[in-house]
Structure 1
Amino acid sequence: MLARIRAKASSWMVKFILGIIVLVFVFLGVESYHMGQQNKAATVNGKVIAVDDYRAEYQALVDQIRRQFGGTVSHEILELFQVREQALQRLIERELLLQEAARYKLQVTDDEVAHAIASMPFFQKDGRFDSGLYQSLLQANGMSVAYFEERQRQDLLLTKLQDLIFGGVQVSEVEALDFYNSENRKVSIEAAIFRPSDFTPSPVSDEEIMARYESHKEVYRTEPMVKAVFLRFDPENFIDQVRVSEEDLRHTYEMRLASYREPERVAARHILIKTENGEAPDVIAAAEKKILELREKILAGADFSDVAREFSQCPSAQDGGNLGVFPKEAMVAPFSRAAFALDEGELSEPVQTRFGWHLIRVDEKLPEGVKPFEAVAEGIRWELQQEKANHAAFDAADQAYDATLAGADLGEVSRVWNLPLHETAFFGRRGPSSGISDGRAFAEAAFSLMEHEVSELLEINEALYLISVVDRMESRIPPLEEVRERVLADMMKEAADALARKRAMEVLTALKNGEDTEETLTSTGLFGRQEAIPQMGSLPALSRAVFSLGQGEYLPEEPVVLEEGYGVFRIIERALPDEAAFMADRDNIKKELRGRKENRMYAQWMASLKSRAKIMIEPAFQREG
């Protein structure tokens, strides 16, 4: 289908950028299109969603979350984000949208697909599509051309559907102005905070403590707890046992050769005299005159680095204007064109960009090429060591697990494999308090075991665990003697809270009646919705209450519940933002509001599609998920 593009594309070295590959991988997942659909996760109006597709979508979501949180992600985080449910719902919604596009008889031509792919920057060099790069990137990620192009066709189809459905969404001038005023208006208040810690409740009797305990026994019930021993097979502990040969390094280097290709680069310095977008012509002319003077100074023999240190307005000035080594696409186009046209040691004419006026000197030109084996060998060695250590840890864990199936306990396995046998203190459903990175996953496995039963292999953050419960403590209601201090503390806390709320209500009532509050109220001055309250600090709940009041309302109905107590306030002044600022940002505001409308419309539309669709989730898949 892309034969026309491939035939016209010039042949040049493939450029591989890891970040781009990650983007492609996250966007597409792994290839499952051609893997068949022997197992189905769900059907949508009779159309099968394969388990393989679900797994690819799930992994793409996990990878996104890992990048967001930086590395490993706990079982708890994945549960919090409901990744399993999200993955399946995304696939169901995509299928519903494709079916809706078919109902509207929308189509995407081969030329449209070809143009879309040819426009993707990670398949281009010097702004032109390259078939070699295109095919090598797909191959490197296990994707066929047919799968990728079919996915692009579907995405373009969904874009057409989106334009059809949301094309009529508009935002009026009044809507935009009202939103801007609501988000950017400022208020000034008088306020007071009533903290329970500032109130001293009356002492309570033993009889009152007993009565409280008797009426709240379940509050003090202990959770079930277990004590466990475990073996941990951590790949880091196997690093010293693995060896990476020269042959391994060379083979991996050859297999990844595309990833070590580097574009043409230059090492350069520059001097910048700043101007801003929209600056007056005389200011821009003055900056140009200054850069010309500096150029004459350098041509007359002044050292470029010294001139940069003295006059450049870029942070690189302190290093003599040094920008290091960079490829053409790393800089704005006018700067790159000038830099890459220079010879080594040559000084540029003045160059204007959106940042101002530049002088550029190229120190070194580095041609397109491949990183030599020696430059990447240590990095490859580290990766292969990690990979082999993972395999060694998994192999040892498998053998240990097999030994437990044959009747060995963890103590015996520990001695044979020379691994420390760890023992926990009693712990509940949140897991051990230390020593385990994902306590909830560990606890979930432990609580499913009978006493002295050995778990299956459990993977937590790239380490494997074998767990055995050695003792168990059932849930119970402790006698009053054990929890008397807790009961008393709870009573005093509630009483102090009640006193604080009562006083807050008294002050609010006095303000409503125009009476003297006998309290010193803090005057804040003007502040915005997203700003800390002057004289009081960051109090999100109080800010929300203040800005939730309508025009003509000055007092809340009830004291505001805060983390530290109760707040009472009275609005003294409201100030609307400058309308000129709104006009300057009007288009962005309308764009944001249009996006919000589209999101609400999409949610309603999708809910309607789902309510009319026949969606069946397979029982086997439900057991897996």
Structure 2
Amino acid sequence: MLKLLRKKGVMKKVIWSVVVVIIIAFGLGGTLYLLDDTPESYAGKIFGKKISFDDYEKAYRDVRIQAILRYGDKFRDIQQFLNLETETWDRLILTKEVNKRKIKVSDQEVVEQIQQYPFFQREGQFDELLYNEILSYAFRISARKFEESIRDKIKFEKLYVQKTTSVDISNEAVFAAYKHQNEKVQISYAFIDPNDFKNQVPFDEEKVKEYYNNNRIEFLLPPSINISYVQLDFPPVPAVEKEASDETIEQEPSIPEINQEAKEKVRQHTDEIYQELLVSSNLESVAKKYNLPIKTSGLFSMEKPNLALGWSYELLNQIFSMDINDITEPIETTSGYQIAQIKEKKESYVPEYLEAREKAREIVLNKEANIIAEKKSKDYLDSLYKELAKTKLRDFPKSAKTLGLNITQTPAFTRGQYLPKIGISKEFQDAAFELNDENSVSDVIVVENGFCILHLDNYIPVENADFEKNKERIAETLLNEERQKVFNIFLSTLKAKAKLEDNIAKMRAEKTGN
């Protein structure tokens, strides 16, 4: 079958870089490791029929290959976010369905599909030798089995077309989507800051203690460490004088390049100190010998690292796994080298009340100030309505200033756009786009740092000419989304009918103890 793709000939040198990428991506993934000492004799059941481990493993292999073909060299990065085992059961269920419907795929359709994959192309053309090499050395699958998996993939695509061909999108829906994405509003708003009301909150020790006792887990401190270290700086780079110019051009300051020879001397000196520390591990005595001051980081955690150290997340992760008195290898920074020693480690713990008192007091203070600010915001809103009713112009800025409120005006914005001071707030933007000429003032809106009262200053409608230009693209996007929804409902119904019994998941849970 498909002899067009399997002509015999002299093997040429393959593009091994392509093969290596696939081998690394393909890895040793699978589920066979679960089969050791298992009492189960089959992988699971669908539609009341047992699925053997062999059939499951073949389907898993096909799912994994399809994922690699779909994502290419990005597969390794996104693999952790894929649920290949669920996709395997979906494939087995869909296979039953396409066979039941007697969906057919010709050899020519399989050939055309395979020839489209970039993995099998050299200089933009399908390469039979490369194809056979990748199947043999990367996917470790025969051409016949691979081609049958592609045949099944095309069957699934035909099933998708059968179930979604009647889906349609009206012009009204397309315009509504375009309008939702592109209409703009401009808003003036009063911001009521809870911080302004903190001075109205009396300190109540009993209330603070009560909050601490009822919410102790909130005060859990993460593991922390204290580091002693020595720093060996690179020599300063001499300043380069520039010729004076008639025109003064402001330029970004550049980072001076360090002489590589001088840098190497510092590295060798650091390594010499490190070798001594491997023998004695007494940082104080070695530092004294080389006349180096010892610096201390103070306790810090992974969540709140000591930024002055300039260490990467990966390095911090490594250091937090070390024991007290362990010495790090030389650490290169932008300014020199460091050698650090773990001086103190504290495990995660909930501090006693006296240690947590200030944090508990601040939490209670913020909560009480928030309550006052919310009530005050509602009072302001009532007063605003009364002020606005006094004049026909309904001057929002003037009425707000009469009440002592500061007004901020946004630029014209679309949904999802970042706004100065507010950021991206769904609540703020939803309220803004609900306003109109008849209802131009919002209720009190809760945002991240306080409360807002919004006023509609300007509504900018979409332009029909621009809509006509983008209509087809938007319609295609909406149509694909709607088709996917319809097919997902069909697949969910099919899976419910299949009544899956998943022994693989059961065995995994037993292996991991979950």
Q: Does 1:584 align with 2:469?
A: yes
- Give 1:122 deviation, angstroms: 3.8
Cα–Cα, structure 1 residues 141 and 503, in superposed 2: closer, same or farther, change >3 Å?
same
Once residues 622 and 581 of structure 1 are traced to their aligned partners in structure 2, the CA distance between those partners, rounded to angstroms, is 55
Q: 1:147 to 1:160 in 2, by over 3 A?
A: same
1:492 equivalent to 2:386? Answer no
Q: Structure 1: where are the runs of 5+ without partners?
A: 229-416, 447-469
Contact 2:221–2:351 (Cα < 8 Å) also in 1? no
**Which residue number in structure 2 is paired with residue 623 of structure 1?**
510
CA contact (8 A) 1:529 1:547 kept: no
1:594 lines up with 2:479 in the alignment: yes
CA shift, 1:59, in A, is 11
* Residue 586 of structure 1, CA deviation: 0.9
TM-score under structure 2 normalisation? 0.62
CA contact (8 A) 1:21 1:137 kept: no
Match of 1:241 in 2: none
Match of 2:338 in 1: none
How big is the shift at 1:117? 1.6
Structure 1 Cα separation of the partners of residues 72 and 110 of structure 2 = 31
Cα pair distance change 1:549/1:182, threshold 3 Å: same
Deviation at residue 118 of structure 1 after TM alignment: 2.9
**Which one of 193, 197, 201 corresponds to residue 199 of structure 2?**
201
**Equivalent residue of 1:568, what SS?**
strand
Q: State the superposition RMSD in angstroms.
A: 5.1
User: Quick one: structure 1 residues 59 and 565, their matched pair in 2 at CA, closer, same or farther if it must change by over 3 Å?
Assistant: farther
Instruction: For residue 207 of structure 2, give the secondary structure of its aligned residue in structure 1.
Output: helix
1:401 corresponds to which residue?
none
Counterpart residue type for residue 16 of structure 1: I
Deviations 1:20-52, CA, capped at 9 Å, x for gaps: 8747986x7769799998876544333346468
Q: Is the 8 A contact 1:501 1:566 kept in 2?
A: yes
Question: Given the alignment of the two structures, is residue 149 of structure 1 paired with residue 147 of structure 2, yes or no?
Answer: yes
Which digits, 9 at most, give the CA deviation of each residue in 1:250-271, with x for residues without a partner?
xxxxxxxxxxxxxxxxxxxxxx
Q: How does 1:468-617 map to 2 (within 5 A)?
A: 478-479=352-353, 481-512=354-385, 514-515=388-389, 516-517=399-400, 518=403, 519-533=405-419, 536=421, 538-541=423-426, 543-546=428-431, 548-549=433-434, 554=439, 558-617=443-502
Report the Cα offset of residue 587 of structure 1.
Answer: 0.8
TM-score in terms of structure 1 length: 0.52
CA distance in 1, matches of 2:421, 2:164: 44
CA contact (8 A) 1:195 1:500 kept: yes
Task: State whether structure 2 residue 132 is matched by structure 1 residue 135.
Answer: yes
Secondary structure, aligned partner of 1:583: helix
Tell me what 1:44 maps to: 46
Change (3 A) 1:142 1:611: closer
Pairs aligned (count): 401
Aligned counterpart, 2:287? none
User: Are residues 173 and 54 of structure 1, via their aligned partners in 2, closer, same or farther at CA, if it must alter by over 3 Å?
Assistant: same
- Residue pairs, 1:239-254, within 5 angstroms: none
1:2 is matched by which residue type in structure 2? L
Q: Decide whether aligned partners of structure 1 residues 509 and 31 sit closer, same or farther in structure 2, where only a CA change above 3 A counts.
A: same
Q: CA deviation at 1:116?
A: 1.8
Which one of 183, 187, 190 corresponds to residue 189 of structure 1? Answer: 187
Counterparts of 2:318 and 2:498 in 1: how far apart (Å)?
A: 36
* Residue 111 of structure 1 pairs with residue 115 of structure 2: no
Whole-angstrom CA distance in 1 between matches of 2:281 and 2:190: 58
Cα drift, residue 55 of structure 1:
8.8
Write the letter of the residue equivalent to 1:89: T
Query: Is 1:95 paired with 2:72?
Result: no
Helix, strand or coil: the match of 1:559? strand
CA contact (8 A) 1:194 1:565 kept: yes
Identity %: 18
User: Per-residue deviation at 1:70?
Assistant: 9.6
